[in-house]
Amino acid sequence: MRPKALEGCCGTGYKGTTGKLRSGRGKISVPEHLQQLTGEECKQLGSILPKVRDYIALTKPRITWLILMSTGIGYYFGAPRAASWIGFLAGIAYWGLLHTIVGTGLIASGTAALNQWFEREADGKMRRTAARPLPSGRISANGAMAFGVALSVAGFVELWLGVNLLAALIGAFTLASYLFLYTPLKQRTWWSTTIGAIPGAMPPIIGYAAAAGVVTREALVLGAILFLWQFPHFYAIAWMYRDDYARAGIRMLPVVEPDGRSTARQICIYMAALVPVSLVPGILGMSGRIYFVGALLLGIWFARSAVRVAMERTTIRARQVLVTSVLYLPLIYGLMLLDRPGL
C-alpha cells in the first residue's frame, strides 16, 4: 500500500505548488523533492518503506531501549567520580559513551533479529507473534539472518575499536549465551528462563566495563538487580501467554505446571531476593539515603503485586506484575541517577 504522504505526489494527477494534499484528516505536507518523483519512482519508494519497517521490527526496538537504558546506568557508575555534577559531566568521555550505546544497540538488535530467525517456526504458531515479519513471510529467512549477523558483527567491532575489548567480549558472550543456550532450551525445559536471565543481566556490566575498563563488585550489583528483576517480569508474560507458548511447544513454567502455583512461587522467591539486593547500592556507597529509601518503597510496591498474583492466580494479576515491573526498572534507575554521593 502506498503511504498517504505519497498519494498524489507522483503519477496520480496531483497539481499545484503548495505541497499540500487533501486527506480524511485535513492537509498533509509533501516534501518538494517527493513532488518531482515519477509514478514508477513513487511506486518503488512505497514498496521500500514497509520493508524498512519490517527490518526495524526485527530489532525489537522497545526491548532494545530497555537494554540501552541499563547500559547507560552501567556507564554512569563506571565513569570517574567527581566532587560536583559539573566536574562529573566534564569528566565523562562522551565519544566513549556514544560508541558504547551504538555498539550495544547493534549487538542487541542483531541478537533480536537472529533470535527471531531461530524461532520463526515457533513464532508462526503463536497468535501474538504470527504477524512478525518472518512468520508472515514479509522478510525472507536468509535476509533476516544476514541482517542479524551484520548488526552483531558491527556491534562487536564498534565496542572493540570504539571502547575496549572487555566490553566487546561481554557483548559477544551475551549474544552467544542468548542464542545458543537460552533459545534452544526454551523448547526443552522451563529452566531456560534462568539461563536467559544471565545474558539479560549483562547490559549494565557492558556499560560499566566500557567506562571503567574493568568489572568490579559495583558492576556485578547492577547486573544482579537486573538479573532478579527479569523473573517476575518474564514469568508474568509466560503466565499471560501460556496457551500461545503451549501451541509452539515452548516449555515455559506455566505450560509445564498449568495451575500456576509454581509460577507464582517463583515470582515471590525472586521478588524476595530483589528487594534486599536493590538496597546494596546504598550500602556500598554507590547511591545515597534517598535512593535507599526510594528503592525500599519501590520494592514493597513491586512485592505487593507479586503477593497478589500468588493469592489470586489470574491473567489480570499477572498483567499487574508485568506493568509494575516495566515501571519499576526506570524508576529505580532514576533514583540511582539522582542520588549519587558527592554529586
116-139: per-residue pLDDT in tens?
999 999 999 898 889 999 999 999
Note whether 65 and 181 are same-domain residues: yes
The verdict on 122 and 218 lying in the same domain is yes
131: CATH: 1.10.357.140
- Check whether residue 42 and residue 113 sit in a common domain: no
Query: Using one digit for the tens of pLDDT, what is the confidence trace for 20-40?
Result: 444 444 454 555 555 565 666
Read off the C-alpha cell for 92: 565523562
When pLDDT is averaged across residues 194-219 and rounded to a whole number, the result is 97
Residue 87 pLDDT grade (very low, low, confident, very high; cuts 50, 70, 90): confident
The cell for 338 is: 539522582
d(Cα 279, Cα 327) in Å, to the nearest integer? 18
pLDDT band (50, 70, 90) for residue 236: very high
Q: Looking at residues 140-160, what average pLDDT do you find? A: 96
Task: Report whether 232 contacts 301 (CB < 8 A).
Answer: no
Q: What angle do CA 237, 238, 244 make, to 5 degrees?
A: 110
User: pLDDT above 90 covers what percent of the chain?
Assistant: 76
Domain membership of residue 42 (yes or no) is yes
pLDDT at 228: 98
Backbone dihedral region for residue 153 (phi beyond 0: left; psi -120 to 50: alpha; all else: beta): alpha
Tens of pLDDT, residues 321-343: 999 999 999 999 999 999 987 66
β-strand pairing of 20-23 with 26-29: antiparallel
C-alpha span between 212 and 80 (Å, rounded) = 8
Domains in the chain: how many in total? 3
Given this model, what pLDDT does residue 28 score?
47
Averaged pLDDT, 251-273 = 93
The residue that leads in pLDDT, 78 or 5, is: 78
> Do 105 and 250 lie in a common domain?
yes
Continuous segment of H or E residues that includes residue 26:
strand 26-29
Q: 176 and 36, same structural domain?
A: no
Supply φ then ψ for residue 249, to 5 degrees: 75, 25
- Whether residue 180 is contained in a domain is answered as yes
In a domain, 230, yes or no: no
Within a 10 A sphere around the Cβ of 265, how many other Cβ atoms? 14
Q: What percent of the chain has pLDDT over 70?
A: 86
> Tens of pLDDT along 152-180?
999 999 999 999 999 999 999 999 999 99
pLDDT above 80 for 246: yes
Domain span at residue 156 reads 59-223+239-254
Q: Where are the alpha helices (DSSP H) in 141-260?
A: 141-162, 165-177, 183-185, 192-200, 203-212, 217-240, 242-248, 253-256
Considering the domain architecture, whether residues 339 and 311 belong to the same structural domain is answered as yes
Residue 292 lies in a domain: yes
pLDDT for residue 29: 55
CA distance 98 to 255: 41
Asked if residue 112 and residue 146 are part of one domain, the reply reads yes
| CA distance between the termini of the chain | 53
The predicted structure's pLDDT at residue 8: 46
Q: Which of 77-86, 106-115, 161-170, 181-190 has the lowest mean pLDDT?
A: 77-86
Assess whether 115 and 250 both reside in one domain. yes
